[in-house]
């Protein structure tokens, strides 16, 4: 049986915030399965800040998204046909094959990851227990190297990565200060997630409030945004501090990244410079299952909470990315593609 697969193809490179003209909606019929393949009906599509960088054609940690191909991204869905000995009809799988409604994939594809909705809700495998959660997990534990009693500052603290970093910090006995945009997000971070404080970077006096919240300085700064927040934190870093650099969303829409002052410039100019490096979650690929299991356990124990913004309709994926890049979403941004 064939199915109509809708795809958002990358049609042109953006300048600044990506408009609708950057994508082209395409429809193609799925091909019959070969031995070892499965057909996945996508239920949820993940929308993440890194996607904006992949739309450019400059040098980066990963190859740029190709023009004329489905926009890069991860999905979770249900197997509706199988010619595989590993996966059967009805299995739930995460797969990193871009913005599509139906995905044919070989069962030896390394990005395939089995999801179990009896443990946590299905879409959470794209968020708190998935790539963003694992990014927080490894970035904090392996790059941040937290010790009980230390002070951690987390930017984009209400987001899919930052919210997990901060809650993990509290589990590990650290003092955790968040930075987020707007009173609503800051209240959520402090009152619901249990951070010690949260500073509104959109309000006046951000630098002074951050200094007051960190009377003993900052030992770990988990970098997600760059810009003025990075500069403010840089003045408070203690000797021996560590800066895991996950991203810097404030510059993602830049038309010329070479002209931007990045976190590498800001922290590299300090004397002494803190330990700081960019990392990607695939560095710990072999340990993904372990991280997902521990994050799931913390959720079920009530130690990690999360928020999701679920937008209905595959056609709304481009707007979903713009919402993430402008901070309009709350927590993890997802597109609900179909009912099971």
Digit-coded pLDDT (tens) for 205-216: 999 999 999 999
Span of 127-141, 155-169, 255-269, 319-333 with lowest mean pLDDT: 255-269
Examine the domain organization and report whether 169 and 241 are in the same domain.
Answer: yes
- Give the Cα separation of 85 and 123 in Å (integer): 25
**Domain match, 101 and 33 both:** yes
| CATH code of 136's domain | 3.40.50.720
141 and 121 both lie in a single domain: no
Predicted confidence band of residue 252 (pLDDT cuts 50, 70, 90): low
User: Domain total for the chain?
Assistant: 2
So what's the pLDDT on residue 62?
67
Residue after which a domain boundary falls, among 244, 265, 282: 282
Residue 264 sits in which domain range?
Answer: 131-282
**Residue 48 falls inside a structural domain:** yes
pLDDT at 76 over 80: yes
Which is more confidently placed, 56 or 62? 56
Does residue 102 share a domain with residue 60?
yes
Range with the lowest mean pLDDT among 119-123, 149-153, 260-264, 319-323? 260-264
- Is the residue at 197 inside a domain? yes
Q: Are residues 85 and 135 both part of a single domain?
A: no
Element (H, E) at 317: helix 317-326
- Going from the C-alpha of 82 to that of each of 42, 85, 136, the distances in angstroms are 15, 8, 33
Measured in whole angstroms, how far is the alpha carbon of residue 278 from the centre of its chain? 14
What pLDDT sits at residue 57?
82
> Does some domain include residue 287?
no
Which comes out higher in pLDDT, residue 158 or 256?
158
The predicted structure's pLDDT at residue 258? 60
Are residue 119 and residue 145 in the same domain, yes or no? no
- pLDDT, averaged across the chain: 94
Same domain, 148 and 272: yes
Domain assignment present for residue 290? The answer is: no
């Amino acid at each position: 049986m064939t199915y109509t697969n809708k795809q958002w193809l990358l049609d042109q490179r953006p300048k600044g915030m990506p408009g609708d003209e950057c994508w082209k909606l395409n429809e193609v019929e799925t091909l019959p399965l070969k031995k070892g393949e499965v057909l996945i009906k996508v239920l949820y599509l993940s929308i993440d800040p890194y996607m904006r960088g992949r739309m450019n054609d400059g040098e980066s940690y990963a190859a740029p998204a190709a023009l004329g191909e489905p926009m890069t991204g991860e999905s979770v869905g249900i197997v509706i046909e199988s010619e595989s000995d590993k996966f059967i009809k009805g299995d739930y799988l995460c797969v990193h094959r871009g913005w599509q409604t139906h995905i044919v994939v070989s069962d030896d594809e390394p990005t395939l990851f089995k999801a179990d909705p009896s443990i946590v809700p299905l879409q959470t495998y794209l968020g708190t227990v998935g790539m963003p959660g694992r990014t927080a997990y490894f970035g904090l534990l392996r790059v941040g190297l937290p010790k009980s009693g230390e002070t951690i500052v987390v930017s984009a603290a209400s987001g899919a990565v930052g919210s997990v970093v901060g809650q993990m910090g509290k589990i590990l006995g650290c003092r955790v200060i968040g930075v987020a945009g707007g009173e609503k997000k800051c209240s959520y971070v402090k009152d619901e997630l249990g951070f010690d404080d949260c500073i509104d970077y959109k309000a006046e006096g951000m630098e002074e409030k951050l200094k007051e919240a960190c009377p003993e300085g900052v030992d770990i700064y988990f970098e997600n945004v760059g810009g003025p927040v990075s500069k403010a934190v840089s003045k408070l870093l203690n000797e021996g501090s560590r800066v895991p650099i996950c991203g810097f969303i404030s510059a993602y829409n830049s038309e010329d990244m070479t002209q931007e002052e990045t976190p590498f410039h800001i922290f590299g100019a300090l004397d002494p410079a803190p330990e700081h490096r960019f990392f990607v979650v695939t560095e710990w690929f072999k340990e993904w299952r372990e991280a997902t299991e521990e994050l799931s356990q913390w959720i079920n124990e009530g130690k990690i909470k999360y928020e999701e913004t679920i937008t209905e309709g595959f056609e709304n994926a481009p707007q979903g990315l713009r919402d993430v890049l402008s901070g309009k979403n709350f927590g993890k941004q997802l597109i609900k593609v179909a009912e099971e």
